[in-house]
Amino acid sequence: MIFKKWAALSLITVAILGVSCKKLTEVNPAATDNTSTTVNPNANANSWIYDEMKTYYLWESQMKTKATTDNKLDPMDYFESILVKPGELDRFSWIEEDVDALTASLQGVNKVLGIRYVPIFADKAETNVAFSVSYTLKGSPAANAGIKRGDFITKVDGKTLTKDNYSTALGAETLDLTLGEMVNNEVVSTSKTVKVSKVELQTDPIQYSTVLEYGNKKIGYLVYLQFLSSFDDAMRKVFADFKAKGVNELVLDLRYNGGGYISSSEILSSLIVKNLKPNTLMSRQEWNSGLTTAFKNQYGANVFDSNWRNEANNLGTLNRVYILTSQGTASASELVINNLKPFMDVILIGDHTYGKNVGSITLSDDKKRWKYGMQPIVLRTVNAIGESNYGTKDGFIPTYKVTDNVMPFKPFGDPTETLLKVAIENITGQPVTLGTSKARVATTKDFNVLNKAALLDTRKYELKDMFIDKFPGQ
């Protein structure tokens, strides 16, 4: 690709999560309208896909030439065919048929029952399956029906869940869910059934927060589900409350957080970091060579730098932070970990993280000839000391490996809850016993799980991403 000059972002637009940002002129001389007179109905859409990817894709220099691609493929298949080493180098770029649905999902709006669950084998013979409820979204049909963390679901529309049907069991719009209970270390059905219907729901990412006190230790505990910029001020209010109550230790529960806005991860990082020094380097983005040259020519050598933000509610007292993790802890969640590691002790408790140190943008056709929405990888992030060594399938390795399969799940904030218990014991140096918990004493068991990352009932948009809401320099 030959980069001639920077022209004030004009001519062709790219939708980045609903924000209209102009595209580089003459960045890609090959990018034209390419109106085709051929009978191939996919030619124009596929030409557009290729040109957009050739401009923005992080690995554009390794893409096959346009002439060697099969532009007769369905556009969804064509997009997959031009990715560089899919599943190996590029594990994360994707395309959707409807950019509006894609954009809504990235902003936390999905059509859901509102149940996040872990599928487990319900019996010793491992014949039946149950959904162990990790949590229900605030205001969701499931929450309104009384379903909560720690419940079990054993049947859907009267059909017992099995390893053959569980993955598609929650696909219908309206469902009858049968709840279960533990009997003799197995999960069996009860007579309680609830009817729920999916609705369009805005996720409230602040699932739970509290302050736990042990002697002179005041532990802030936050369960945070998704990095959504529309809830940045709500997140700041949680930390304002923590600060007012004198919090001097923090447990950040990101085990169910698959990512979101990079800008929101930077705010959270700045609320936590020890000795906050605004306007000093937090992290840096790396783009493809053509865009790197173009952006630096326009905005200067530091255009890809992200600095610490001046957050008034930075706790200011933390020497360390405990972060609860799972294999579903991804992208913007991992970015917080990487941002903080050079500046304070970051103790990870749980499972290894997802392993995604790259970010994306949403590309759509400004001429509205088709509704495809692409979410290609366009950047890689490194922290203030240039580290970004978690971009593997092992992600970040936990400081304390803890298997989160003790069920029924205990309520958030219960000191005896599997992962939180380890954090509290490390903070206080004292064992947490049932006598220190106000929660009910109930029988629990280690269950065999079928999927270690908790699943949302609408699995089409299992968000594991971090993305930008504006280009560098804007």
Question: Higher confidence at residue 436 or residue 235?
Answer: 235
pLDDT category of residue 442 using cuts at 50, 70 and 90: low
Long-range contacts of 205-208 (CB under 8 A, 24+ apart): 205/108, 205/231, 205/235, 205/257, 205/260, 206/231, 206/234, 206/235, 206/238, 207/135, 207/138, 207/256, 207/412, 208/253, 208/412, 208/413
Question: Higher confidence at residue 106 or residue 84?
Answer: 84
**Is pLDDT at 16 greater than 60 in this prediction?**
no
What would the mean pLDDT of 374-392 be, rounded to a whole number?
A: 96
List pLDDT tens digits, range 342-353: 999 999 999 999
Cβ atoms of 373 and 353 within 8 Å: the answer is no
What would the mean pLDDT of 243-257 be, rounded to a whole number?
A: 97
Q: Cα(365)–Cα(373) distance, rounded to whole angstroms?
A: 8
pLDDT category of residue 245 using cuts at 50, 70 and 90: very high
pLDDT number for residue 28: 39
Neighbouring C-alpha atoms within 13 Å toward the C-beta of 99: 20
**Is pLDDT at 206 greater than 50 in this prediction?**
yes
pLDDT number for residue 109: 87
What would the mean pLDDT of 403-423 be, rounded to a whole number?
A: 97
pLDDT category of residue 4 using cuts at 50, 70 and 90: very low
Q: Which helix (H) or strand (E) holds 307?
A: strand 305-307
When mean pLDDT is compared over 2-6, 175-179, 365-369, 442-446, the highest value belongs to: 175-179
Residues 6+ apart with CB under 8 A from 297: 5, 6
pLDDT number for residue 108: 84
Of 102-106, 153-157, 386-390, which gets the smallest average pLDDT?
102-106
Cβ atoms of 331 and 464 within 8 Å: the answer is yes
pLDDT number for residue 302: 96
Q: Which helix (H) or strand (E) holds 439?
A: none
What would the mean pLDDT of 116-140 be, rounded to a whole number?
A: 96
What would the mean pLDDT of 106-115 be, rounded to a whole number?
A: 90
**Is pLDDT at 15 greater than 60 in this prediction?**
no
pLDDT number for residue 175: 97
pLDDT category of residue 3 using cuts at 50, 70 and 90: very low
Structure tokens at 83: 């990715």
Q: Closest by alpha carbon to 262, among 20, 465, 73?
A: 465
**Is pLDDT at 301 greater than 80 in this prediction?**
yes
pLDDT category of residue 451 using cuts at 50, 70 and 90: confident
Of 44-58, 91-105, 240-254, 262-276, which gets the smallest average pLDDT?
91-105
**Is pLDDT at 132 greater than 90 in this prediction?**
yes
Exposed / middle / buried, residue 298 (Cβ in 10 Å: 0-12, 13-18, 19+): middle
pLDDT category of residue 433 using cuts at 50, 70 and 90: confident
List pLDDT tens digits, range 66-76: 999 999 999 99
What would the mean pLDDT of 127-144 be, rounded to a whole number?
A: 97
pLDDT number for residue 280: 97
pLDDT number for residue 2: 30
3-state secondary structure of 328: coil
**Is pLDDT at 13 greater than 70 in this prediction?**
no
Angle (CA) 310 313 315, round 5°: 105
What would the mean pLDDT of 163-191 be, rounded to a whole number?
A: 96
What would the mean pLDDT of 444-472 be, rounded to a whole number?
A: 76
Q: Cα(76)–Cα(409) distance, rounded to whole angstroms?
A: 39
pLDDT number for residue 463: 59
**Is pLDDT at 133 greater than 50 in this prediction?**
yes
Q: Please state, rounded to an integer, the average pLDDT across all residues of the chain.
A: 89
- Dihedral angle, C-alpha 393, 399, 400, 401, nearest 10 °: 10
What would the mean pLDDT of 308-318 be, rounded to a whole number?
A: 96
Q: Closest by alpha carbon to 322, among 442, 421, 451, 180?
A: 421
Question: Higher confidence at residue 19 or residue 160?
Answer: 160
pLDDT number for residue 1: 32
pLDDT number for residue 18: 35
**Is pLDDT at 221 greater than 90 in this prediction?**
yes
In order, the DSSP letters of 373-403 are EEE-EEEEEEETTS--TT-STT-SPPSEE--
pLDDT number for residue 31: 43
**Is pLDDT at 12 greater than 50 in this prediction?**
no
With pLDDT > 70 as the criterion, what percentage of the chain qualifies? 88
SS3 content of the chain, % helix, strand, coil (to 5): 20, 30, 50
Please name each of the domains of the chain with its CATH number: 13-97 (no CATH), 111-202 (2.30.42.10), 206-440+460-467 (3.90.226.10)
Phi and psi of 434, rounded to 5°? Answer: -60, -30
